[in-house]
């Protein structure tokens, strides 16, 4: 572990008492970045989560700009210096407490938004267990296509419909064609699904025509967040060949408000290893550091709250648990290196979706398409209700955390979205 990363000592405590709760997502060892505002219509400000509070970086005198992309463009050295200053100011006994207290606001009293303005969005497909399970539904004898284990598969998504956690969206309308129908029809999706993903935010960009080498790829990553790429499976089945997802994916995606930095994730790195007999990556995707410490041990959960549960005051059911390290066939660094190998220009604030992160067991699936076997085996909930796919009023909550003996548990907050009824076409 890098000795130059401040604030990773598990014994470190903050004078912000809520940050010392062992169940808190945002102890002083985390310090994720995001944007907030005090009221609707006000400009977004850069904040850092600590316990149940948010630090206004400008008021604290720690960063003079209120444009998040200015922060994203800073070098790893500058970001690490900012982290050091935050740790020194927020730790128990700090002489800077009085100054920083003026910069604190309760998270419950501010509006949290997208972590940054998102310019471009690429959705990858790194979850090998998801790719295999879904492929098996359509190609039982050949679930993975030949390129999957050689190239990180991805497609260019739609950044304009990515929304902040807590937002609702309308059920999408589009063309569907049941197998027994003579022609397609336009109707609300009946097979609406979630996808459990992590979001990867680009910090510093690269020049067009300049590939980012694997060894420096993580220098271009600012942090990770939770990401839900809502999917209309019936629209997807009709449109995805030959060019891939379109209207089945671009109607809404939801991202959590806090970017957890790679510095905070440093204690939770793991070796990245392929199983025996798997192909070795091509040289531009292979490297010593990536093999030794390229994976991140992030635990993931999906919760589903139906309207009936909400009326009864129930938080919902946890319907799936999985993990990033055991689900992902490719690492964060490999995604950056591959995305730029052809000279593609990345810019600060670009977002990568990991793809659905299903675990190896059926109950660890990161989508209802897998959990219900394409809707054939409905999921039974604690309320007595069943779900094959999402219904109007359903809320999906994604959660994630990292824990390891000898270190403080850190979390990602939550990524929450609610399904509204469809709007008729043209309204």
- Distance between CA atoms of 16 and 27, rounded to whole angstroms? 9
> Does a cis peptide bond (omega within 30 degrees of 0) precede residue 242?
yes
What are 220's two structure tokens?
A: 């271009």
Task: List, for residues 308-351, the tens digit of each pLDDT value.
Answer: 999 999 999 999 999 999 999 999 999 999 999 999 999 999 99
Q: Does 307 or 145 have the greater pLDDT score?
A: 307
pLDDT surpassing 50 at residue 1: no
Task: List, for residues 40-63, the tens digit of each pLDDT value.
Answer: 999 999 999 999 999 999 999 999
Calculate the average pLDDT of the chain: 96
Name the residues annotated as catalytic.
130
Is residue 257 a contact partner of residue 413, using CB atoms and an 8 Å limit? yes
Give the model's pLDDT for residue 427: 64
**What residues are paired with 197 via a beta bridge?**
227
What are 184's two structure tokens?
A: 């397609």
Task: List, for residues 11-27, the tens digit of each pLDDT value.
Answer: 999 999 999 999 999 99
DSSP 298-343: -EEEEEEE-HHHHHTT---EEEEEEEHHHHBSS-HHHHHHHHHTT-
For residue 333, give the H/E element and its range. helix 332-340
- Dmax (CA) for the chain in angstroms is 74
pLDDT surpassing 90 at residue 81: yes
Task: List, for residues 90-110, the tens digit of each pLDDT value.
Answer: 999 999 999 999 999 999 999
Give the model's pLDDT for residue 239: 94
Output the pTM of the full model: 0.97
% of residues, the chain, pLDDT over 70: 99
pLDDT surpassing 70 at residue 38: yes
Give the model's pLDDT for residue 394: 98
Give the model's pLDDT for residue 142: 85
Look at residue 76 and give its three-state secondary structure: helix
Q: What is the mean pLDDT of residues 185-189?
A: 96
Give the model's pLDDT for residue 211: 98
pLDDT surpassing 90 at residue 148: yes
Q: Would you call 126 exposed, middle or buried from its count of C-beta atoms within 10 A (0-12, 13-18, 19+)? A: buried
Task: List, for residues 194-235, the tens digit of each pLDDT value.
Answer: 999 999 999 999 999 999 999 999 999 999 999 999 999 999
Q: Would you call 48 exposed, middle or buried from its count of C-beta atoms within 10 A (0-12, 13-18, 19+)? A: buried
């Amino acid at each position: 572990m890098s000795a130059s990363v401040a604030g990773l000592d598990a014994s470190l405590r903050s004078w912000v008492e809520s940050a010392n709760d062992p169940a808190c997502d945002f102890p002083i060892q985390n310090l994720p970045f995001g944007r907030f505002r005090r009221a609707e219509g006000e400009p977004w400000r850069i904040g850092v989560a600590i316990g149940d509070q948010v630090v206004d970086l400008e008021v604290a005198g720690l960063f003079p700009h209120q444009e998040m992309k200015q922060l994203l463009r800073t070098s790893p050295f500058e970001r690490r210096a900012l982290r050091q200053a935050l740790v020194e100011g927020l730790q128990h006994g700090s002489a800077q407490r009085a100054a920083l207290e003026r910069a604190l606001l309760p998270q419950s009293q501010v509006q949290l938004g997208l972590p940054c303005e998102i310019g471009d969005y690429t959705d990858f497909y790194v979850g090998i267990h998801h790719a295999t399970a879904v492929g098996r539904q359509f190609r039982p004898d050949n679930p993975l296509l030949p390129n999957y284990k050689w190239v990180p598969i991805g497609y260019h998504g739609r950044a304009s419909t990515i929304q902040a956690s807590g937002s609702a969206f309308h059920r999408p309308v589009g063309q569907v064609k049941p197998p027994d129908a003579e022609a397609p029809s336009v109707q609300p999706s009946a097979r609406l699904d979630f996808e459990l993903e992590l979001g990867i935010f680009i910090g510093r960009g690269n020049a067009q025509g300049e590939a980012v080498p694997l060894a420096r790829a993580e220098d271009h990553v600012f942090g990770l967040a939770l990401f839900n790429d809502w999917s209309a499976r019936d629209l997807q089945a009709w449109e995805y060949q030959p060019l891939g997802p379109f209207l089945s994916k671009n109607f809404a995606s939801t991202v959590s408000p806090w970017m957890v930095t790679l510095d905070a994730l440093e204690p939770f790195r793991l070796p990245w290893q392929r199983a025996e007999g798997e192909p070795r990556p091509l040289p531009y995707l292979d490297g010593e550091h990536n093999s030794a410490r390229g994976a991140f041990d992030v635990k993931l959960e999906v919760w589903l709250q139906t309207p009936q549960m909400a009326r009864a005051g129930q938080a919902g059911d946890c319907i799936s648990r999985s993990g990033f390290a055991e689900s992902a066939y490719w690492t964060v660094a490999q995604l950056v290196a591959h995305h730029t190998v052809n000279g593609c220009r990345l810019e600060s604030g670009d977002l990568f979706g990991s793809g659905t992160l299903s675990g190896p067991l059926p109950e660890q699936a990161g989508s209802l398409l897998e959990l219900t076997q394409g809707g054939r085996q409905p999921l039974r909930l604690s309320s007595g209700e069943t779900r094959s796919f999402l219904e109007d009023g359903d809320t999906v909550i994604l959660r994630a955390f990292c824990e390891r003996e000898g270190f403080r548990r850190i979390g990602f907050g939550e990524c929450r979205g609610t399904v509204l009824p469809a709007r008729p076409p043209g309204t």
